Amino acid sequence: MTAIERFLMSRRDLLRGAGGMAAYAMLPGVPAEPGAIRLRLLETSDLHMFIYDYDYYRDRPDLTLGLARTAELIAAARAEAPNCLLFDNGDTIQGNPLSDDVASGRRPFADGIHPMFRVMNLLRYDAGTLGNHEFNYGLDFLGRATAGARFPIVSANISWSDGRPYAPPTAVLERTLVAADGRRHRLKIGVIGFLPPQVTIWDKARLKERVVTEDIVQAASRHVPALRRKCDLLVALCHSGPGSANGQPGAENSALALAAVPGIDVVFLGHSHRVFPGPDYAGLAGADADKGTLAGIPAVMPGFWGSHLGVIDLDLARRGGDWMVAGFSGEARPIYRREAGKVTPLGATSAPVLAAAKPEHEAARTYVNRPIGTFEAPMTSYFAIAADDPSVALINAAQIAYARPLLAGTPHASLPLLSAASPMKAGPTPDSFTDIPAGPVALRHVADLYPYPNLITAVRVNGVQVKGWLERAAAFFSRRDPGREEPQPLVAGRHPAYNFDVIAGLTYSIDITRPARYDTGGRLLDAEAGRIGDLMLDGRPLADDQEVIVVTNNYRASGGGSFPGLDGGNIVFQGPDANRDAIVRYVEEKGTVPAPAPGVWRFKAPPRPLVATFDSAPAGRDHLAAYPAIRFIGEGEAGMARYAVTLGAVPG
Ligand code: MN
Ligand code: MG
């Protein structure tokens, strides 16, 4: 431990120790000491280019999202506190048809500035950091976009492969703050940023050999001591969830471990699209989910798409020559309330924000409404986690149609061609499902089916690896106790359905009464365990040594989701086109698309019928006729409806 680290450690201990505890009172109602400074720090995160309160896929307003709404909370928070700084925590410029249209290069940025940064400049952000999704459109585009930001964008754990920092690792903001006694003080606020080091895996196709990343805590240990010497207060913009206090090196979610690094005063979280403080993280070891602390220091995570504004109030007191945090409070303020399924906005929209991005918003609406073909049947994802699903089948059909001609004439052409896809939109809110009516199809419908700008990628694997892939996907389901007749949840907790890959070209069953081979993070639990049965290729059992080509996306092929055997090493084809482009091409070439025939997987029927429950959107009730094993049973959580699937109720 260096001298400065010892100094910082003792300073932190002092604050946390007996002497410091009394000072750690919650702020509301506690008058500031004369001479103390009340400083308010605001955070947005995971805005994903939602400037307007608009759902481009459905081409209608959505009151649960949009920086235009968060902006009104920012204005109100600033009006309450004379000393206020505003930060953004990344995943800022990618995530909807507006972002895709802006990134397409069809038009230069109006006035030369990327619309998100135009709006953020207008809102006078003080600093920002990069999320993982910033890299989805490539480094050249990201460079042109961030060039328009009139505030520093810091990131301490990504650098060019020659070692130069990709972005400034840290920044020091000098601000004049007004103390409770009216005196003015010049304070230096240090800012440091972090992103999940996995970006180089998730976007390998675009980042390979160009940039490298570093473990979040390791990067903090390198940069925080020097930054601490230059500032009075140190704020970490951590585009990462809490994870656990003793996380593995290189962990995707590292905010808890980061908060324990001496010298950091405040941690802003993101990436997990959840809310902190609050019930999302109740009981998390090392965190106080009521008060809003990680490892004892204030922390906040403001949901996603502008749903919340993170607010941390600090009481800064002068001890000796140093300013230190003598008290704090934190909250995530929502832009809306949902009661009995009805959304009530808690404020207005900011007219200047809407005006600033209007040209791009209108262009995006035109772009997504371009007709591309006709669907003979509705395409929904309401029951994609409980039954073989037509929306997943369509993605797989399009991927195979795209890849087959490209593989012709290669050494892989003689191998069976399979395709892996997953439900991309399957909750957790009633609005986050795919719902494409039968009839004319527009581009926005395809974007709704496949919201991520992934690239078509094919891997060459054998039968053992295919089984491992499916076992990892089957970890999505909780274990159904065959000895209990009363309903049990199909899925324990909230796991992303995009890790529930379905591999078309095969047929198989999933036995959820048996233990899973992997956990939902992809860690091997029991190599002997398995849920996949009746695995057939062309009517014959899939042999262990049978080689096959599987078309998937760059995220999965490069190791995203920690699937066994997928680490980028067996990629045989990396498309220049996005998976979504393949779907658009498929619909355009077919003209009229019949209802895709799923018939890939089914739940293994237990000896006696068993019931498992799950939540989906209430709108799914209109589509139940196509799902004989599924029925509506009542209200679910947070505006969702609860359904039950009976295993073994119907033949198949
Ligand atoms: Mn995000
Ligand atoms: Mg993220």
pLDDT, tens digit, 9 for 90 and up, residues 162-205: 999 999 999 999 999 999 999 999 999 999 999 999 999 888 88
3 state SS of 606: coil
Q: Do 319 and 342 reside in the same domain of the chain? A: yes
Domain that holds residue 78: 3-361
Q: In angstroms, what is the span from residue 637 Cα to ligand 2's centroid?
A: 24
Report which bound ligand comes closest to the CA of 307: 1
Report which bound ligand comes closest to the CA of 304: 1
End-to-end CA distance of the chain: 63
- For the segment 507-521, the average pLDDT, to the nearest whole number, is 96
Confidence of residue 408 (pLDDT cuts 50, 70, 90): confident
Q: Do 243 and 374 reside in the same domain of the chain? A: no
Residue 524 within a domain: yes
Q: Do 227 and 355 reside in the same domain of the chain? A: yes
Report which bound ligand comes closest to the CA of 94: 1
Inform me whether the pLDDT recorded for 28 exceeds 70.
no
Nearest to 270 by CA among 328, 196, 212, 172: 196
Q: Do 382 and 491 reside in the same domain of the chain? A: yes
Confidence of residue 29 (pLDDT cuts 50, 70, 90): low
Q: Do 341 and 390 reside in the same domain of the chain? A: no
Q: Tens of pLDDT along 575-611?
A: 767 899 899 989 989 999 998 877 999 999 998 899 9
Confidence of residue 648 (pLDDT cuts 50, 70, 90): confident
> Which pLDDT score, from 0 to 100, does residue 247 have?
81
Inform me whether the pLDDT recorded for 618 exceeds 60.
yes
Inform me whether the pLDDT recorded for 652 exceeds 50.
no
Q: In angstroms, what is the span from residue 86 Cα to ligand 1's centroid?
A: 19
> Which pLDDT score, from 0 to 100, does residue 496 have?
87
Inform me whether the pLDDT recorded for 13 exceeds 60.
no
Report which bound ligand comes closest to the CA of 92: 1
Report which bound ligand comes closest to the CA of 198: 2
108: exposed, middle or buried (Cβ count in 10 Å: 0-12, 13-18, 19+):
exposed
Q: Tens of pLDDT along 237-271?
A: 999 999 998 888 999 999 999 999 999 999 999 99
Q: Do 276 and 379 reside in the same domain of the chain? A: no
How far, CA to CA in Å, does 341 sit from each of 618, 634, 635?
A: 9, 13, 10
As residues whose CB is below 5 A from the ion ligand 2, the structure lists 91, 131-132, 271
Q: Do 485 and 562 reside in the same domain of the chain? A: yes
Confidence of residue 282 (pLDDT cuts 50, 70, 90): very high
Q: In angstroms, what is the span from residue 46 Cα to ligand 1's centroid?
A: 4
Q: Do 379 and 255 reside in the same domain of the chain? A: no
Inform me whether the pLDDT recorded for 295 exceeds 90.
yes
Q: What is the CATH number of the domain that holds 207?
A: 3.60.21.10
Q: Tens of pLDDT along 331-371?
A: 999 999 988 778 999 999 999 999 999 999 999 999 999 99
Report which bound ligand comes closest to the CA of 130: 2
> Which pLDDT score, from 0 to 100, does residue 17 have?
34
Q: In angstroms, what is the span from residue 270 Cα to ligand 2's centroid?
A: 7
Q: pLDDT > 90: what percent of the chain?
A: 79
Among 361, 386, 405, the domain-final residue is: 361
Handedness of CA 460, 461, 463, 466 (dihedral sign): negative
> Strands, DSSP E only, in 291-348?
293-294, 297-302, 308-319, 322-334, 336-339, 342-345
Domains in the chain, number: 2
- For the segment 294-301, the average pLDDT, to the nearest whole number, is 98
Q: Do 328 and 386 reside in the same domain of the chain? A: no
Q: In angstroms, what is the span from residue 50 Cα to ligand 1's centroid?
A: 12
> Which pLDDT score, from 0 to 100, does residue 189 have?
98
Q: What is the CATH number of the domain that holds 585?
A: 3.90.780.10
Residue 19 within a domain: yes
Residue 623 within a domain: no
> Which pLDDT score, from 0 to 100, does residue 452 have?
85
Inform me whether the pLDDT recorded for 10 exceeds 60.
no
Q: Do 265 and 350 reside in the same domain of the chain? A: yes
How far, CA to CA in Å, does 352 sit from each of 10, 40, 67, 117, 355?
A: 47, 23, 11, 14, 5
416: exposed, middle or buried (Cβ count in 10 Å: 0-12, 13-18, 19+):
middle
Q: Do 192 and 304 reside in the same domain of the chain? A: yes
Report which bound ligand comes closest to the CA of 95: 1
Q: Tens of pLDDT along 201-215?
A: 888 888 989 999 999
Rounded (10°) angle between helices 390-407 and 579-590 = 90
Q: In angstroms, what is the span from residue 217 Cα to ligand 2's centroid?
A: 17
**Which structure tokens are listed for 368?**
């997504």
Q: Do 477 and 348 reside in the same domain of the chain? A: no
20: exposed, middle or buried (Cβ count in 10 Å: 0-12, 13-18, 19+):
middle
Q: In angstroms, what is the span from residue 248 Cα to ligand 1's centroid?
A: 21
> Which pLDDT score, from 0 to 100, does residue 307 have?
97
Among 583, 604, 625, the domain-final residue is: 604
CB-based contacts of 575: which residues, under 8 Å, 6+ apart?
A: 402, 403, 406, 455, 456, 457, 582
- For the segment 525-546, the average pLDDT, to the nearest whole number, is 97
Residue 533 CA to residue 510 CA, distance in Å, equals 6
